[in-house]
Amino acid sequence: MELKVIDIMSTQAEIKQQVREFYDQIGWQEVSAGLYQNAHYEDLRPVARDYIHRCHLRINQHIEHGGKYLLDAGSGPIQYPEYLEYSRGYQYRVCADISAVALQEARSRIGDHGLFIVADIANLPFKSDIFEGIVSLHTIHHLPEDEHLQAYRELNRLLAPSSSAVIVNGWPSSTLMRFFNPLIRLSNRGKYYFARLSGRPIKPKGNNSQQNKPRDRKAKGTFTSRHDYQWVEGTVGELMPLEILVWRSVSVRFTRTLIHRWLAGRFWLWLLYGLEERFPYFFGKNGQYPLIVIQKGQLSRSR
């Protein structure tokens, strides 16, 4: 029995070590000025820019706009300009991350406005109730599955009474994206045959213009695990008051395949954003990326 516990612990430690190495050596290496390898997982084309910008700023609707300390749990290097807005009214942005490279980069961006600490989101070395705001974006999914709940507990513990934390992670599967899968496959097949007929070189899977660069060949990604809506609503919602709204309902695969300037892509994303604002609970549940708000001291209203 004791041996089994040690086995599990070493697997957890190994997972974290692998994630840390990935971000230190690959994810937070700059591939061009101000752009990290990690940005390959984002759609940075002009046609998607406005939608993605507005989704990033959604976080601001749910956290306090000022205070002494904002915690950014799994801050990375604060890679997009919109991220700076979350802590604009705060005295300090406390960046916690297991990657020292991430924190060095974050320091080069925000200098004295930041406090930087190498720490694990499932065991954060802070006193309870001290953060007036918390954000944690795309980080909990790097933890072994059985530590997710502990991370939610930690964020809730650290929140000052009546304050809010915003957590963003993807669902393992999204009803909305499943609905569009046949269209995505059809579009990819069409592109393939069109390229063959016209004698154009066929791009490898994942139409990322950066993908052929030699340094990216070793970038295979790192460990992730995701819980579904029922788990967050039931298991986490039982322990703390939370709401599940929408951060962004479509995946990067969706936008890269189906959203194009010549197909009025900007308009469709504008419309989608409007619908997400109108029906945040529906898109939070059925879209790709929920925005989970923990409000300390409030009753749960998730649906």
Number of residues located near ligand SAM, criterion CB under 6 A: 19
Dihedral through CA 111, CA 42, CA 82, CA 169, nearest 10? -90
Beta-bridge partner residues of 219:
none
Residue with tokens 């001290």: 130
**Closest distance of CB 158 from ligand SAM, Å:** 13
Binder among 52, 55, 106, 137 for ligand SAM (CB under 6 A): 137
**Closest distance of CB 1 from ligand SAM, Å:** 26
* Site track for ligand SAM across 269-298, x = CB under 6 A: ------------------------------
Which range touches ligand SAM (CB under 6 A), out of 116-124, 247-255, 272-280, 292-300? Answer: 116-124
249 makes contact with ligand SAM (CB under 6 A): no
Q: Which is nearer to ligand SAM, 190 or 221 (CB)?
A: 221
How far is 223 from 101, CA to CA, in rounded Å? 18
148 makes contact with ligand SAM (CB under 6 A): no
CB 246, CB 42: distance < 8 Å:
no
138 makes contact with ligand SAM (CB under 6 A): yes
**Closest distance of CB 10 from ligand SAM, Å:** 16
- Distance of alpha carbon 229 from its chain centroid, rounded? 16
Tokens of 61: 């609707």
* Site track for ligand SAM across 96-115, x = CB under 6 A: -xxx--x-------------
Tokens of 131: 């953060």
DSSP strand E in 109-219: where?
Answer: 114-118, 131-137, 159-168
How far is 258 from 261, CA to CA, in rounded Å? 10
165 makes contact with ligand SAM (CB under 6 A): no
Q: Which is nearer to ligand SAM, 13 or 202 (CB)?
A: 13
**Closest distance of CB 76 from ligand SAM, Å:** 3
Q: Are strands 30-32 and 159-168 parallel, antiparallel or unpaired?
A: unpaired
Beta-bridge partner residues of 95:
72, 116
CB 226, CB 232: distance < 8 Å:
no
**Closest distance of CB 104 from ligand SAM, Å:** 12
143 makes contact with ligand SAM (CB under 6 A): yes
Using CB under 6 A, which residues numbered 42 to 81 contact ligand SAM? 74-76, 79
How far is 291 from 85, CA to CA, in rounded Å? 17
Q: Which is nearer to ligand SAM, 141 or 256 (CB)?
A: 141
Walk across the sheet containing 242-248 and list its strands.
Answer: 114-118, 90-97, 67-73, 131-137, 159-168, 289-295, 242-248
**Residues near ligand SAM (CB under 6 A):** 16, 19, 23, 74-76, 79, 97-99, 102, 120-122, 137-139, 142-143
